[in-house]
Amino acid sequence: MATFDDDVIEAVSGYMNSSQAENLLLMAQVLGGEKDATAARMVGFDSDALLLLATVAEGETEVRLEWPYPCETRADVKDRLFLLLDRAIAAWDGK
């Protein structure tokens, strides 16, 4: 299992939270089963999964989304984020 340095996790999470918040929310709602979430933020990842905190009526809840394929590099994380987003959009459009 690959481990990522804290600075890599912070950089990727910071970017996603500042410019992709709506996409993170969609992933939490559709893929994470938190359909009533009003916000989501990326708090980490490892080689196996993305970790989000979703805002729901009761507060925040952890949402763990398994990557479609393991991540070994920062470029892999970017690729897997797009794959998860594509899956969320496809599922949303299929409603």
Is position 35 within any domain?
yes
> pTM for the whole thing?
0.92
The CATH number of whichever domain residue 34 belongs to comes to 3.20.180.10
Structure confidence at residue 52 (pLDDT): 98
pLDDT digits over 16-55, tens only? 999 999 999 999 999 999 999 999 999 999 999 999 999 9
Identify the CA nearest to 88 among candidates 39, 37, 31, 33: 31
Is position 72 within any domain?
yes
Q: Of 59-63, 70-74, 90-94, which gets the smallest average pLDDT?
A: 90-94
Is position 41 within any domain?
yes
Is position 23 within any domain?
yes
The structural domain count of the chain equals 1
Is position 32 within any domain?
yes
Token pair for residue 51? 């970790």
Identify the CA nearest to 21 among candidates 37, 7, 9, 5: 37
- What is the domain range of residue 42? 6-93
Is position 1 within any domain?
no
